[in-house]
Amino acid sequence: MTSPGLTVVIPAHNEATYLPRYLPTVLASLERWQETSGERGEVIVVDNASTDATADMAASFGVRVISETVRNIGRVRNTGAAAAEGRRLFFTDADVALPMEAITAAATAMDDGAVGGAIPPLYTPKRLGARLLCAYWDHYRTNHGGAQGVAQFATAAAFQAVGGYRDDLFMSEDVEFFHRLTAHGRSKNAPVVILDDLRVRPSTRRYDQWSSLRMLWWQNPVTARLRLNSPRMWRHWYQTTVR
């Protein structure tokens, strides 16, 4: 069997409830790309020290499941990338719905010379305050050229060249990675693209369960730069994360 041409990497910590809702969208998007490209893809779910049935649930969908016990999102993504066989890498989260065209568009961009890129998220929380906060961040990223890790992609060669995600950061590691990927692209005279005509749809569980004031405190440009290498500072995203 030929090696897969593209690998989707999905970090997952206690996502047994969410995987049945969101993983099928990843598989459908991958299948669409396989049909149009004639290539084969793979999905790797990295079980990150789950205490529920995450690994079994992921395996029930026929994807590869590997383990990473250290609770750090950069390390988890790097573990998935290290196990990947594809020459193109696509990173998304276990609670993110992909549009059918997502993987095809990302692979096409890389085939056309991009070293990587991202698909912006569309958050639809219930409360007005949370929606305004999401709209602010969308505007901020648009004007600063950043991109969230909910849907980032890179060629395996570019990922290796920049050293992957930093595993000493517990927040904003995706923005930092995208910054280095963009700089690498410039050095190679190759673009890093943001596919603005598409949107992925992450769950809004944190926005819906936390107050708007609490979300504003943890998600603003100042706090998002504070003590990024402190697991205690960002324990709400790790030890007591919303499920």
Q: How far apart, in whole angstroms, are the C-alpha atoms of residue 99 and residue 111?
A: 20
In this prediction, residue 194 carries a pLDDT of 95
1 belongs to a structural domain: no
Please report, as a single letter, which amino acid is at residue 134: C
- Contact call for residues 98 and 27 (beta carbons, < 8 A): no
**Dihedral over alpha carbons 160, 166, 171, 177 (to 10 degrees):** -40
135 belongs to a structural domain: no
154 belongs to a structural domain: yes
232 belongs to a structural domain: no
209 belongs to a structural domain: no
Q: Over the stretch 32-46, which tens digit does the pLDDT of each residue have?
A: 999 999 999 999 999
Which CATH number covers residue 60? Answer: 3.90.550.10
Average pLDDT, the chain: 93
β-strand pairing of 41-47 with 64-67: parallel
48 belongs to a structural domain: yes
Q: What is the pTM of this model?
A: 0.95
Residue 226 has pLDDT above 90, yes or no: no
| In the block, residue with structure tokens 């290290």 | 82
User: Residue 37 belongs to what domain range?
Assistant: 6-123+147-203
163 belongs to a structural domain: yes
64 belongs to a structural domain: yes
- Contact call for residues 110 and 181 (beta carbons, < 8 A): no
Q: Over the stretch 155-184, which tens digit does the pLDDT of each residue have?
A: 999 999 999 999 999 988 999 999 999 999
What is the count of structural domains for the chain? 1
